[in-house]
Structure 1
């Protein structure tokens, strides 16, 4: 059964509207990324940005645009009302989701910049994966100069403010890139939970800075109520989060580089398949033994 054409369900001017809302959602994501603690660098910039008079009004304005556009979509979409309301709630709680969905988006379709409407499924997933493969490898490679800057500039880069700021911007760019890629790929995937499980390392890369940011909020909230030793431990814990984030990036880089070399990647996959087949054979043997032990003894005729 073929999907209906999205042109029949999307109002006129929908392409321009989705492009504009994509820019709004991306701007919101970038502002959030700039205040997240991606490492020991950029602390003074983050504090300045959070304290600046324009930051919160701009962030709130972008959020308000997403919510208002979602409310208008409740009266324009062709889907069931409950579906439109659910999408409105999701985009209101997480404005970056507006890049991939809206209250008026037809079910089973995804709007892509430069490509227009595409049906979700394996074909769109493969095309997105091919287009994003090289840019994401290059983006992930940026973790190497970040690690080099932190090693040469000291753990906190206190004596190198410009290098610290550049390092913070690069790590922010990496985080935004991974978030955008993950959102688009999840939106296009036919089985979204399976995609998340398969690409769990990407999900960790996205979530670790958020956890570190929540930890930092608690740290500043109770800073006057704790002793210096506890505050120091809080800083060390935040540093642990950021180091885990960089390890996840390195692991992801290794996986992506393997995929760029088909021969090596095929060999790795064949090795994994052989291991799984061996494990499956072992499990079947154990299952047969368990069945024999639990099966009732056959009665012999007298």
Structure 2
């Protein structure tokens, strides 16, 4: 890799950081809107709007493909990752640089080295907004439960808009948090295993959306009885998803308890002690290396001493 191509890769990364972050966020917004419209309580009125957002989502793929082809053209070291992200555009939200893969651009932080300090800083930044989402989801669940029938028949369209917008924001918040934190950690399998509930919350609406969309096409919704089957299937998936969100949000709120905070701090201390142990091992290796070098050099100094004494005499 020559210096010219290296500088071009860095320049392209710096130039595309903000636009591609916004494009990824817009892509996720369209997905959230499509899924939520499709899973809307008023199912017969929402299919057209859902397909509209699906089309907008598909139209955004060339943007990510164009960036990947640009990195291929200039010979970026990590052009294969760029091609992979063009197939999964949400991953571009917190993509690492295409030169070394050790830095990342994030809003308000700019380009930063990906390390434990950045991980902790971003985790703290997400904690506040996610608590607000937790506090928001509880009233939404109450509204959906109490006014379910009235929303279903379209009696309160403004209330339906509030509920659907709230759930879209909830899904978007979970997705953005998971993608950013997943991109920051090195032990990705460990992170997925630890946050499998969050991954389920993200994937369940997408899986339900694709499956129900396929069944809708096969059953041909012109028949009312078949359409009612689709409606019940959507409603079941939506209620299950909301139940998982409620449990996850309650667990997040419980983390504010002193006992839970002590447990989290103890886990953090254990991680830090593990890092310190690795640093001590590195120091011990360096000290052993220095001692071995000094022992090799010591005989040479000793042999030179008698000569100096003879010249002095």
TM-score, length basis structure 2 = 0.72
Residue equivalent to 2:250: 254
Q: Deviations over 1:110-149 (max 9, x none)?
A: 2212212223343222111111001011012221121122
CA contact (8 A) 1:26 1:96 kept: yes
What 5-or-longer segments of structure 1 have no aligned partner? 1-6, 271-302
Q: Does 1:69 align with 2:67?
A: yes
Residue equivalent to 1:241: 237
Q: Deviations over 1:134-176 (max 9, x none)?
A: 1011012221121122123224532222211221111011101
CA contact (8 A) 1:35 1:46 kept: no
Residue equivalent to 1:48: 48
Residue equivalent to 1:294: none
CA contact (8 A) 1:77 1:104 kept: no
Q: Does 1:84 align with 2:79?
A: yes
Residue equivalent to 1:209: 205
Q: Deviations over 1:19-40 (max 9, x none)?
A: 1111111111101110104754
How far apart, in 2, do the equivalents of 1:245 and 1:193 lie? Answer: 23
How far apart, in 1, do the equivalents of 2:182 and 2:264 lie? Answer: 25
Q: Does 1:184 align with 2:180?
A: yes
SS at match of 1:260: coil
Q: Closer, same or farther in 2 for the Cα pair 1:22/1:105, shift >3 Å?
A: farther
How far apart, in 1, do the equivalents of 2:246 and 2:30 lie? Answer: 25
Q: Closer, same or farther in 2 for the Cα pair 1:151/1:50, shift >3 Å?
A: closer
Q: Deviation of residue 196 (structure 1)?
A: 0.7
How far apart, in 2, do the equivalents of 1:246 and 1:168 lie? Answer: 12
Q: CA RMSD in A?
A: 2.9
SS at match of 2:220: helix
Residue equivalent to 1:144: 138
Q: Closer, same or farther in 2 for the Cα pair 1:145/1:89, shift >3 Å?
A: same
SS at match of 1:166: helix
Larger radius of gyration: 2
Q: Deviation of residue 182 (structure 1)?
A: 0.3
SS at match of 2:11: coil
CA contact (8 A) 1:219 1:231 kept: no
How far apart, in 2, do the equivalents of 1:40 and 1:58 lie? Answer: 19
